[in-house]
Structure 1
Amino acid sequence: MKKRDIASLKIDELERLMEDLGEKSFRGAQIFQWIHQKNVDSIDEMTNLSKELREKIKNHFELNTLKIEEKYTSKIDKTTKYLFALEDNNIIESVLMHYSYGNTACISSQVGCRMGCAFCASTIDGLIRNLTAGEMLEQVYQIQKDSKEKVSNIVIMGSGEPLDNLDHILLFIELINSPKGQNIGQRHITLSTCGLVDKMYELADKKLQITLAVSLHAPNDDIRRKMMPIANKYSINDLLKACHHYIEMTNRRITFEYALIHNVNDKKEHAKELGEKLKGMLCHVNLIPMNPVKESSFRESTSSSVKDFMDILQSYGIQTTVRRKLGSDIDAACGQLRRRYLEKN
């Protein structure tokens, strides 16, 4: 019988399970703090529990920790890219980024991805499986332990489509937000989606205070369908209706991610078309100079095209920024390192 992932359990669940094992319920809170506050790598490190209790726990539960398979640190900006090996030997990647407002961990939510976006390396080999809440938490914990630095912000923008793994994502947010754990506030968490409209409505109704980042990448359906298969199921109008609902339910500003691709979606007429669609909306557009992917023919926009695009959006009253390029010397874009590792091995 497969043992339960103890890192994916809430305090009240742990307390009940301790009672089921004939122990005092407060042992559950102690276990929770060992895992989520002290970030131990094994049950044997929980030294205020008796050896007998630790053996009981090991008989029923497993604490799965990630192993750093490879690590690269940028000489340009100190961005660190991690390749983590899971217990089943699957590989995922995470990134530690340094900003003036604190350290940000970019984590994966799935092994691979099934969304098929043409500009993304994560999706080339398809979806292997979802990550558990515990495996998502472990990315943050191992980054903190390795870097000896506190993570204050989390972006769920690594490999995978988070809303395709919504139940585990919601549990991850609850656990990382716990005052008896890392106590990272919801407003310090950003979740990225390619636009699973039905799941966006479900997420909106939870009324969380996280930031929702929507991968838009096109001003119209014709262009978006060529880049993102999800656009064959949901139109941009469908997507924007879901965004308006999210804003209405949470009073949170939406971020639109827009990867600028040379001669595909970066022309002045594209910027004007996008400006017309987004004007008056509580939103922010994050323009992304595209990282080239070997398996894709798409190429990065010129700096003049990026500036023109931003200027036009701002003329519509839309707050627009250009994402700072981090870790360009270590393949820090999503999925690139994992792809290279799989090819090599």
Structure 2
Amino acid sequence: MGPEALAHVLRRLHEELPSRPHPAVLVGLEAPDDAAVYQLDEETALVQSVDFFPPVVDDPYAYGAIAAANAMSDIYAMGGEVRFALNLVAFPEGLDPEILVRILKGAAEKVREAGGVVLGGHTVSDREPKFGLAVTGIVHPQRILRKSGARPGDVLVLTKPLGSGVITTALKRDLARPEEVEEAMAWMMRLNKTAARLAVKSNAHAATDVTGFGLLGHAWEMVEASGVGLTLEVGRLPWMRGAQRCAEAEAFAGGLWRNRDFYRPHVALDPSIDERTEALLYDPQTSGGLLLAFAPRDAEAFLARMAEAGEPAWVIGRFEGEPGILVIP
């Protein structure tokens, strides 16, 4: 579902179902965060989310692993740790069931890598395969990461390169090169587990992950929730191999244009930013990295800890001024 349609549905729900928050609900429908949080006691809160989608790559095992990493990313974006998951499966009746075995194996092994376990799930018949997870994790009630905590002077850090959307779209159109797809799959299967743990340790002020609304869509969610502007530097952005080439081939998904139409009014572009680069900034991502807001000194500590752990991270912008996004070279 595109951002405009989703915003309409959520707005109507708020009108039709006035909020009566339960005292244990720490994060619910009242805020556009990545997962729900329900407090159990002074030390523990449940954090829960669900995500599923059609195949983005041809290999069933990789598809399952990518879908699992993507679903668990919402838990990490809240600063949580994964505990268990339930499979969500839609599968055509005439398709070889061994394909589903590979999908489920890829997901189960990725959840195990996260430190969790798959405990069951639900299946339905459908004309197109779809797969994902309902994920449950835990988080300390005083250490929840949200979109709304960015402060003036904070820097914005990204923990995975961009380009999965345009590359997987190119794959569907037989325009992607094998080495480009291989690299994109590796990034999409990479967990945000270490980044989330080190973000909490490094005093991150705010967080979200980059998925279907693209970099600018998810950055705007942080800007709007935090009430502070963002200057984004295109020259600092990391790209997957092949992202620029696939963009030159115009391998853009339909969701990109929906993202651009909805978020463009909140974005000011430097005149030097060309249309192809702008399009990539709205490109829907699958299992993207975390976007994290830090005080500059804490960002330095986070980058150092990430490097020590063998994980990448890039400073891509700064929070300042009135709400809105300025994109500069």
Does TM, scored on the shorter chain, surpass 0.5? no
Query: Which of the two has higher C-alpha Rg?
Result: 1
By relative contact order (CA 8 Å, sep 6+), the higher-ranking structure is 2
Task: Give the TM-score taking structure 1 as reference length.
Answer: 0.28
